[in-house]
């Protein structure tokens, strides 16, 4: 009985000892990931406090802190970075694939906010806001003709789900402002910019980045194209800056069979980790082309490297960016974060495609800018055979040299084609509901001569840098561009890329390659 009476005391003692050991272990673990030399950060704080309270002039201590942080990361690799709290949300939103706001894409043209398109499922689409609508007021404040910036537009229109904003819209068919009270909501943004059938057998998918929803969206796009008879596939990775590693490996799993190695990562404190194709993919057979260029980076290079190393498809374009470093995002106490490089990734054949950065971050960035000059001024293919970094295409392409494409870019940058297309679509919205997809629109819609003549006149009215004679000389190409912007209003980015890709020599090279097979 005495022994039984001691049980509660013994149990309590063991519990207390266990709690104390837990605190000790946790304290030691914290010390292991803290500063190696405690005096270093204390010294920095001490110096900054002296500056704060004793320096002869008033200084911005926060800026000095930021400068010190920047210098720390300048001594690391080019892709480790500190992200302030006010920027982090926007950075993460992009990869997460959604945001909270009113759900529109916009341009600021002639100092006026113009709705390029509403986003599917968003509150603006539900209320009936249309492409080409001009936003004149936001919450009764004038926003046209005041030199408003894109950042200011985002700040005014984005906001937490459930909050509301009132916009006054000028529409082509109305002489007065139309007011909409929009309740903000969570809006999904797809990273699959376009997916459609080029012809009866060739499918096309353009991926803008590898976000949280990209693998699912890619799977759905493949499924849809498969039901339409796809036998060959172009995946467009041009200017895709990467994103999540898992998204890239999941997409590679749709293309590779037999437990093939997709990529592996390895770092000083991180042992090798292999990523394999592990399930039956939707497109493990059939001709495959990946379109790449100098803006294809990181996760895009993982996918390209796996396809190339296994001989699963053909890489067409120009040498890729050369980013073979893996970052981990670490949250800090003030809700800011740092992205710290923790490992390198390697293609199945053991190649790390990282571009050298041993001369420092500034030299690394300068080297990339010099590459762009070579590509777009001398029309180089961006890389000799002696370069080991990046993904070297199987078929190398030079940058386009077509005169008409430069003219179309000029008009795009001035917003001239967009404005005419938005106005024309806004005046004839009801006429476009009968087209089922971009291909059907391309086949059945014939642009009348007076429509194109109207564009030529509008081009002259806006003091465009493109001469009227060139608009008639390259009438076929400019008509395609116009159809692309009209199709964007009907079919979103799918419609835009369907037509603008027809003007793209690199895209056409990929299509012709598959047709030759």
CA distance 264 to 272: 7
Which of 173-190 are b and which e, b meaning 16 or more Cβ less than 10 Å from the residue's Cβ?
eeeeebebebebbebebb
| pTM of structure | 0.84
Give pLDDT, residue 317. Answer: 96
Q: Of 77, 185, 250, 309, which is the active-site residue?
A: 309
Give pLDDT, residue 151. Answer: 83
Would you call 309 a catalytic residue per the annotation? Answer: yes
For residue 273, the SS3 value is strand
Evaluate whether 308 touches 315 at the Cβ level (below 8 Å).
yes
CA distance 127 to 40: 57
Q: Of 77, 323, 464, 504, which is the active-site residue?
A: 323
Between vectors from CA 189 to CA 187 and to CA 195, what angle results, nearest 5°? 140
Give pLDDT, residue 5. Answer: 47
The answer to whether 98-188 and 192-396 have equal CATH topology is: no
For residue 101, the SS3 value is strand
List, in sequence order, every beta strand (DSSP E) within 238-394: 261-266, 273-276, 287-292, 314-317, 325-331, 337-346
Give pLDDT, residue 172. Answer: 72
Give pLDDT, residue 20. Answer: 43
CA distance 406 to 446: 25
From residue 485, give the alpha-carbon distance in Å to each of 102, 130, 406, 500.
22, 14, 17, 9
- Domain extents in the chain: 42-75, 98-188, 192-396, 403-516
Closest CA to 171 of 137, 141, 130, 112: 130
Q: What is the pLDDT of residues 287-320, one digit of tens each?
A: 999 999 999 999 999 999 999 999 999 999 999 9
Give pLDDT, residue 114. Answer: 82
Q: Is 76 exposed, middle or buried (0-12, 13-18, 19+ CB in 10 A)?
A: middle
List, in sequence order, every beta strand (DSSP E) within 238-318: 261-266, 273-276, 287-292, 314-317
Give pLDDT, residue 27. Answer: 37
Evaluate whether 253 touches 277 at the Cβ level (below 8 Å).
yes
* Second CATH level (architecture) for the domain 98-188: Roll (2.30)
Tokens linked to 283: 């497109």
What lies within 8 Å, CB to CB, of 435 at 6+ separation is: 441, 444, 445, 490
CATH topology of domain 192-396: 2-enoyl-CoA Hydratase; Chain A, domain 1 (3.90.226)
Match 């190695």 to its residue by tokens: 261
Evaluate whether 252 touches 306 at the Cβ level (below 8 Å).
yes
CA distance 412 to 137: 25
Residues of the chain with pLDDT under 50: 1-38
Segments in 75-204 forming alpha helices (H): 85-96, 123-127, 150-157
Q: What is the pLDDT of residues 154-204, one digit of tens each?
A: 888 888 889 989 989 988 777 789 899 999 988 888 899 999 999 999 999
Would you call 298 a catalytic residue per the annotation? Answer: yes
Q: Of 80, 124, 131, 298, which is the active-site residue?
A: 298
Other Cβ atoms within 10 Å of 90 Cβ, number: 12
Phi and psi based region of residue 496 (left: phi greater than 0; alpha: psi -120 to 50; beta: remaining)? alpha
Give pLDDT, residue 465. Answer: 87
Would you call 448 a catalytic residue per the annotation? Answer: no
């Amino acid at each position: 009985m005495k022994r039984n009476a001691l049980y509660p005391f013994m149990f309590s003692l063991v519990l207390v000892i266990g709690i104390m050991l837990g605190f000790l272990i946790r304290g030691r673990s914290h010390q292991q990931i803290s500063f190696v030399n405690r005096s270093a950060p204390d010294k920095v704080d001490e110096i900054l406090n002296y500056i704060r309270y004793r320096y002869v002039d008033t200084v911005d201590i926060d800026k000095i802190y930021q400068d010190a942080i920047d210098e720390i990361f300048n001594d690391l690799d080019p892709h480790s970075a500190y992200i302030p709290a006010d920027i982090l949300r926007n950075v993460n939103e992009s990869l997460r694939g959604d945001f909270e706001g009113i759900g529109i894409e916009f341009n600021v043209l002639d100092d006026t906010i113009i709705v390029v398109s509403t986003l599917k499922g968003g509150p603006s689409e539900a209320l009936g806001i249309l492409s080409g609508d001009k936003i004149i007021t936001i919450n009764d404040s004038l926003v046209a003709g005041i030199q408003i910036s894109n950042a200011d537009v985002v700040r005014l229109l984005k906001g937490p789900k459930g909050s509301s904003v009132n916009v006054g819209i000028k529409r082509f068919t109305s002489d007065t402002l139309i007011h909409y009270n929009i309740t903000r909501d969570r809006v999904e943004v797809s990273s699959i910019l376009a997916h459609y059938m080029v012809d009866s057998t060739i499918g096309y998918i353009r991926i803008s980045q590898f976000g949280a929803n990209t693998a699912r969206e890619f799977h759905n796009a493949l499924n849809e194209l498969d039901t339409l008879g796809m036998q060959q596939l172009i995946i467009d990775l041009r200017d895709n800056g990467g994103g999540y590693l898992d998204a890239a490996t999941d997409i590679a799993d749709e293309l590779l069979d037999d437990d093939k190695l997709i990529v592996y990562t390895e770092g000083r404190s991180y042992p090798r980790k292999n990523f394999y194709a592990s399930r039956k993919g939707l497109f493990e057979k059939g001709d495959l082309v990946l379109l790449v260029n100098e803006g294809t980076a990181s996760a895009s290079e993982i996918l390209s490297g796996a396809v190339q190393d296994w001989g699963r498809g053909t890489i067409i374009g120009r040498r890729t960016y050369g980013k073979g470093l893996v970052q981990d995002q670490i949250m800090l106490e003030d809700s800011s974060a740092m992205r710290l490089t923790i490992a390198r990734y390697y293609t199945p054949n053991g190649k790390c495609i990282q571009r050298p950065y041993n001369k420092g971050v500034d030299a690394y960035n300068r080297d990339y800018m010099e590459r762009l000059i070579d590509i777009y001024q001398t029309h180089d293919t961006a890389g000799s055979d002696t370069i080991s970094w990046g993904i070297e295409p199987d078929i190398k392409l030079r940058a386009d040299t077509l005169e008409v494409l430069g003219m179309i870019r000029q008009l795009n940058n001035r917003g001239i084609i967009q404005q005419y297309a938005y106005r024309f679509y806004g005046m004839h919205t009801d006429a476009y509901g009968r087209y089922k997809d971009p291909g059907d629109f391309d086949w059945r819609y014939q642009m009348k001569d007076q429509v194109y003549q109207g564009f030529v006149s509008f081009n002259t009215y806006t003091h465009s840098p493109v001469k009227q004679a060139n608009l008639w000389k390259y009438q076929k190409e400019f008509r395609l561009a116009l159809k692309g912007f009209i199709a964007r209003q009907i079919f979103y980015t799918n419609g835009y890329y369907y037509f603008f890709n027809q003007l793209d020599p690199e895209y056409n090279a990929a299509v012709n390659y598959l047709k030759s097979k």
